Structure 1
């Protein structure tokens, strides 16, 4: 176990969701990684290939990202195979001298498989759950069983809200003591108010979201026509892409609202602030939400927020910065009416006052410090042997438990094959340390390319 007196860790963040894909999980991984680098830890990110983006890339401050040559199978996730990812992930873990594998998102196949392989190798694992799930439909039942299997062998779990913690504990059948709550955060330097960008004599309502069912696009499509018919000075700006875009386009066409409803399509995260500052009110119509970073970013930009009262959303903002509505057309329209009238009357928190409050409440440096405490805890835990591991899997169910045990035994056998017959750990060359970025720039000209050649044999791109 690689533990120094200063407790600096070598961390591998793993998820199917990372840049250039945009979303809350992607932003969380990137921002947390940057702050952990700042605090002296080593961090690498592992995800699957995104189009032509394959191999090893360097992002800001020398953050290294491995884009593995696996093709997304469904919803940006790779095909679940359990064993086929082991050789490449093992190579990366050894090459980067990883001590902690941190998986993100219950949807991510790659995260679950990476944590499973890491535990087989004796590494410590942490998992962050970013979503809420139900218990009754077929999709939720399957996802919850996979989560139960994955977390039965995980050292610690992080949830982004107390509601999310309750949901995860019930779904995965784990002890509440092994779950910590660490909320998301916002970059206060990026999301700043700019009242000059708002259109005078208009109330602009903004939404930036994935256009999917879970985000309440059908609800939104019913709300917009009613609001437009009652308030002639209201216009909508909607950023995001997804399968439910067609619902919004049909609504706009059938009610002849082309001049009042603007659909921007996909918005890069660096451009989100430029969209938000054009608005007076941000709306969140989600049907389920573990945290909702979008409403924090909007409040930090000085917007009033109207949100459905679902999941962890009520935990996020102070009461004077947000209006809540039930996820129904009637209640959401009434609540949005009130927010619009309050905006006209000037009954809202001044933008720069809201900004100062939010940026003090939610900071990525604070998230990194609290995550660091979790890392310290899992590193200091007394390791258990393979027998205890198999027992934890066996307890997952009368049938599924036996299948999980078989998978674990086969994985241990595969590790033996990789270590003795394929590529012993001693033959895997350690990666050259290229962080911090200042040192990397100075050294990159003199580093022998044969030394830093990655095992994927992929061309690298160095990005500031």
Structure 2
């Protein structure tokens, strides 16, 4: 993401970043690449998520948007309260807004249902939406009932110069290393891995699993390793720093991804760029990410994943790691992503600004109890902006 912002900054005059403060990072800072970052004084209470504070963010938001003469506010991620608050206030101030969605949400999970309800109003109030895959786009349009013609698909990318093959780090055949790097959570399919590993190791004792990452499901992996006496076949690395991911991938022949839901999986691009053959569950937008000769897809169950391992072992010795890397370099680059994003920005700048009445009418037409609540939120933003304009008039 940092590379993406840096390239946008070079393409589109000036980009600033607004986020919550992080440890000792607060106030305004200039990064080494020339990016200006505002660390707002809002304490994250869960990971990097701050508590919604519509009135509290308005003065800071207005000050930043006017001071920096912002033309477009671009928010990311459905669960970012700060992004949605900035988008709300920007719309009230007559500034164009764009939202990028990075995740797939189900229609049955209780948590997802609440996120979908909130997002429905936010998305119908933005000028344009961006999704990271076509599957992600379909999912967003369905769960928010938004205009598909104002939703674009721009995939993620990778700096392939940082993920290069190094065959000398791998063990020689017939020994095979299968790499797993992910958060150890249910959504990442760790329950599947726990079932797959004993079956694969029993059938192929020359295979070693190297697993990087932390999470609540680590205990399952440790119990599985103890139960089946696989201490020599399963290595748990724990939390892996981003700069060390490449070194781990370079020691492997096969990369295993068992996600149960995924809009776009950068991890499999990183692995393929390092020359690994990828095995992945066929969920979400994963099938759009890599060509089929680079990746073996399987249904999200342990039997099908074991069959995929069987298939991978038959072809892994034929994989040309350097060719994989060259192809990925042509397929993915942050420069291409920045160019596509710039086109969206230019189109959005030509959109007409809706009046307050039209914004309220559009939300009211969703026709639920929450419509009234969101209209009330829009009015709070509008009245707050009018009061601030009276107290602190905009200085052109």
1:385 corresponds to 2:355 = yes
Determine helix, strand or coil for the equivalent of 1:420.
helix
Which range moves more in the overlay, 283-292 or 186-195?
186-195
Per-residue Cα deviation, 1:111-131 (whole angstroms, up to 9, x for no partner): 111111111111111111111
Q: Report the Cα offset of residue 47 of structure 1.
A: 1.5
Q: Which residue of 2 aligns with 1:125?
A: 97
Q: Which residue of 2 aligns with 1:154?
A: 126
1:412 corresponds to 2:382 = yes
Per-residue Cα deviation, 1:294-329 (whole angstroms, up to 9, x for no partner): 111111111000000000001111110000010001
Q: Report the Cα offset of residue 196 of structure 1.
A: 1.1
5+ residue gaps, structure 2, are none
Q: Report the Cα offset of residue 40 of structure 1.
A: 4.4
Deviation beyond 6 Å, 4+ runs, structure 1:
none
Distance 2:107 2:37 in 1: 35
1:394 corresponds to 2:364 = yes
Q: Which residue of 2 aligns with 1:173?
A: 145
Q: Report the Cα offset of residue 247 of structure 1.
A: 2.0
Query: Is the contact between residue 8 and residue 338 of structure 2 (CA under 8 Å) also seen in structure 1?
Result: yes
Change (3 A) 1:250 1:67: farther
Determine helix, strand or coil for the equivalent of 2:99.
strand
Distance 1:403 1:391 in 2: 13
5+ residue gaps, structure 1, are 1-27, 428-464
Which range moves more in the overlay, 35-44 or 280-289?
35-44
Distance 2:166 2:341 in 1: 32
Change (3 A) 1:139 1:327: same
Q: Which residue of 2 aligns with 1:278?
A: 251
- Give the 5 Å matches for 1:229-308: 229-308=202-281
Q: Which residue of 2 aligns with 1:81?
A: 53
Query: Is the contact between residue 12 and residue 342 of structure 2 (CA under 8 Å) also seen in structure 1?
Result: no
Per-residue Cα deviation, 1:41-62 (whole angstroms, up to 9, x for no partner): 2111112122233233333411
Q: Report the Cα offset of residue 75 of structure 1.
A: 4.6
Q: Which residue of 2 aligns with 1:107?
A: 79
Q: Which residue of 1 aligns with 2:393?
A: 424
Q: TM-score, normalised by structure 2?
A: 0.96
Q: Which residue of 1 aligns with 2:318?
A: 347
Q: Report the Cα offset of residue 417 of structure 1.
A: 2.0
Q: TM-score, normalised by structure 1?
A: 0.82
1:39 corresponds to 2:38 = no
Q: Report the Cα offset of residue 69 of structure 1.
A: 2.0
Q: Report the Cα offset of residue 87 of structure 1.
A: 1.9
Q: Report the Cα offset of residue 333 of structure 1.
A: 1.2
Q: Report the Cα offset of residue 223 of structure 1.
A: 1.2
Distance 1:50 1:200 in 2: 44
